[in-house]
Chain A
Amino acid sequence: MHGLFRWSRKWWPGVIPLVVLWVIAAWTSTVPLEADLAAKSGAALKDIVLDQTKISADGRDLTLAADAFSEQGRKSALAAVEAVPGVRLVNDETRLVPEAKPFVWAAERDVARVTLSGSAPLPASKGKLLEAAHAAINGVEIVDQMALARGAPQRFDDAALLLLDQVGKLKDGKVTISDRSVSLTGMARDLGGREAIATALRNLPDGFKVAANDVKAPPYIFQAYKDPVALALTLTGYVPDDNVHAAIAQAAEHKFFGEKLVDNLKASLGAPTGFSAAVIPALGALARLSTGTLVVSDREVKLSGDALYEGAAAEIRAGLGKDFPRSFQFKPEISVKPAAAPVDPTVCQQLFSDLLAKGQIRFEQARATLDPDSIALLDRLIEIALRCPTANIEVAGHTDGDGEDGFNQALSEKRAQAVVDYLVRAGLPASRFTAVGYGSTQPIAGNDTDEGKAQNRRIEFLVR
Chain B
Amino acid sequence: MAYLGLFHWGWLFGSFLLGLGMGWIAVVQRGEGLSKVAARWLAGLAAILVILAVARVVPGRFGYWLDLGLILFAWYLLGCAIGSFLRNWVVSRQPA
Contacts and interface: CB of A to CB of B under 8 A. Distances in A.
Nearest to B79: A14
Interface string B66-89: 011100110011001100110010
A9 B56 contact: no
A25 B76 CA distance: 14
Contact of A11 (B2, B11, B26): B26
B95 interface: no
Given A59-B63, A61-B60, A8 B7 contact: no
A337 B83 CA distance: 130
Given A36-B7, A89-B56, A22 B68 contact: yes
Interface of B: 2-4, 7-8, 11, 14-15, 18-19, 21-23, 25-27, 29, 31-34, 39, 42, 56, 59-65, 67-69, 72-73, 76-77, 80-81, 84-85, 88
Majority secondary structure of chain B interface residues (helix, strand, loop or mixed): helix
Nearest to B27: A7
A13 interface: yes
Contacts of A14: 18-19, 21-22, 76, 80
Interface string A30-48: 1001001000000000000
Nearest to A25: B11
Contacts of B81: 4, 8
Given A4-B81, A10-B31, A18-B15, A61 B7 contact: no
Interface of A: 3-4, 6-15, 17-18, 21-22, 25-26, 29-30, 33, 36, 58-61, 85-86, 88-89
Contacts of B63: 59-61, 88
Majority secondary structure of chain A interface residues (helix, strand, loop or mixed): helix
Contact of B7 (A15, A17, A58, A86): A86
Contacts of A29: 7-8, 11, 68
A36 B64 CA distance: 14
